[in-house]
Amino acid sequence: MADTLRLALASRLPTAQSPPGLLGSVAVTILTLLVVYVIKFAPRDDKIIPSYEVVGMSKRDTFSEAQKRYSTSSRAILQEGLTRIRNAFQVYTPVGPVIVLPKRYTEEIKNHKQLSFAKNVEKSTFGTLPATSLMPGMAGFMFGAHRLEVMAGTARMQLTQSLGKITARLSEETAMAIDEYFPSNKGDWNNIVFYPTAVRLVSRLSALVFLGDEICRNEEWLHVSGQYAIDGIDFIRALRSWPAILQPIAQFFLPERRKICKHEKMARKIIQPVVDKRKREAMEDAKAGRPPKEYTDALQWLQDAMDKSGRKFDIVGGQLGLGLASIHTTSMALTRAIFDLCDNPEWVQPLRDEVKQVLAEDGGWKKTTLHKMKLMDSVLKESQRRNPVHFTIMTRIAEADVDLSGGVHVRKGDMITVTTTETMMDPAVFPEPERFIGDRFLKLRQIPGNENKWQYVTTSADHIGFGHGAHACPGRFFAGNELKIVLAHMLMKYDWAFAPGHDSRNIELAQDIIPNPVAELMFKERNKDNGS
């Protein structure tokens, strides 16, 4: 479309010899092309899916009113559907109508080849709008939308396989970062707004693995990688607030776009010189007959993927995409775990005892050390069970008409999902589901045959915090290791508590469940067991 517009204008632009009336002709041409562009590419979300009862939308509501209601009351709307209908129903979300399936469909849809996870990512990030793909600012989102297999493969294969090599290095960087980000006066309580600091810490550890030592302490990169997701989601929400038919044009004028353009520009300024330097090194090594220098980071993994596939893609966009997929989800998991331990301090000392014991057994930080931290693994899984990132997960778009069991028919283009709350708060599976029980999953793993079923990184139809099936979070193994290392250092070095007037209540917005980003914690340095 962009090429069509460019060619059309080139043949019609007025010159010094053009008659005055030609200006009007050009204006009409531009307007006509814009109308065609809007009609061709505008999303069509103002429809209800036939055959499924709509929950949370009355007959008098406009689609915009239904979207707003879902954004502020999604928990109640989903619970009403699950309780009253007890079968598939639909809700009208900011992305459009979505069929909500009961828990019993989780296994059936997890690997269904005609229910596309990639199409959902593309739609939720406006990846179907050509200008969104081409304009600066959305490179990280578009890498996830259009190069999902590359990003997932990098996390699933190279990142996971490298974990044993980077455990000790992650621990060293964690210790340095905690000293820097949580400065304390010994013996005194210190206050800190926890979540932004968690983002900064996770950004630094992620950068160590994704970009190597050269960039992991670069403050400009840490700001970009942490803020890009926030401002990018703000842009998507702002664009979604416009009527669907105007979105193809509105995207050009939103102020939120300028923020993400600035972040992307800075990312290229930081990363591209490193990419160019490595290319020069490889060429020099080849000329000299030397084996190329090996790098164990995502820059190299993305380059290898590009070389292997024979296709060119945006490595800077890939780095931003990896950050999008990992930094805030891991930061939220860390924040929730600390909040849960502040609410349930009886689990802190048993965790410290476990850390001390396994570090003594292994003589320091090794990959086996993390596998032995079974109570910590259980605490993280229990925290995720009670505080999933989203109310809905495993969202898919049908690429063809699909018939599921029980007479559920999904048309091509329809969106489906399942709820985390029904699954992970099921009292039949998890007695006292509202209660935080730190060793819940440790005890489940002690049942013969369950040794591996209830690990933090293991997915099932009963625990879908990371999704389930072929598209379960591919970076969950790295996230699990990272969280155990950080949590161990934090608990061994400091005592933690909520500051007066602050608590662990989440913020709920549409499908998102967000730990309070302004909640303050108090921390005090302990006199022993620094965890190093």
Query: Is residue 199 classed as helix, strand or coil in its secondary structure?
Result: helix
Cα separations in angstroms, 105 against 102, 185, 328, 416: 6, 53, 29, 11
Residue 342 marked ligand-binding: no
Instruction: Provide the residue type at 57 as one letter.
Output: M
On whether the CB atoms of residues 477 and 418 are closer than 8 A, the answer is no
On whether the CB atoms of residues 84 and 97 are closer than 8 A, the answer is no
Separation between Cα atoms, residue 165 and residue 19, nearest integer Å: 71
Query: Within 13 Å and on the Cβ side, how many CA atoms surround 133?
Result: 15
Could you tell me the end-to-end alpha-carbon distance of the chain, in angstroms, rounded to an integer?
A: 57
Which DSSP letter does residue 48 get?
Answer: -
Place of tokens 């038919």: 245
Angle subtended at Cα 337 by Cα 211 and Cα 463, rounded to the nearest 5 degrees: 90
Question: Of all helices (H) and strands (E), which one includes residue 2?
Answer: helix 2-10
Question: Of all helices (H) and strands (E), which one includes residue 41?
Answer: helix 21-41
On whether the CB atoms of residues 8 and 33 are closer than 8 A, the answer is yes
Separation between Cα atoms, residue 60 and residue 66, nearest integer Å: 10
Angle subtended at Cα 516 by Cα 103 and Cα 240, rounded to the nearest 5 degrees: 65
Question: Of all helices (H) and strands (E), which one includes residue 508?
Answer: strand 506-509
Instruction: Provide the residue type at 154 as one letter.
Output: T
Question: Of all helices (H) and strands (E), which one includes residue 522?
Answer: strand 520-525
Closest listed residue to residue 325, CA positions, set 298, 295, 357? 298
On whether the CB atoms of residues 92 and 70 are closer than 8 A, the answer is yes
Separation between Cα atoms, residue 24 and residue 487, nearest integer Å: 66
Annotated binding-site positions for heme = 473
Residues belonging to the binding site are: 473
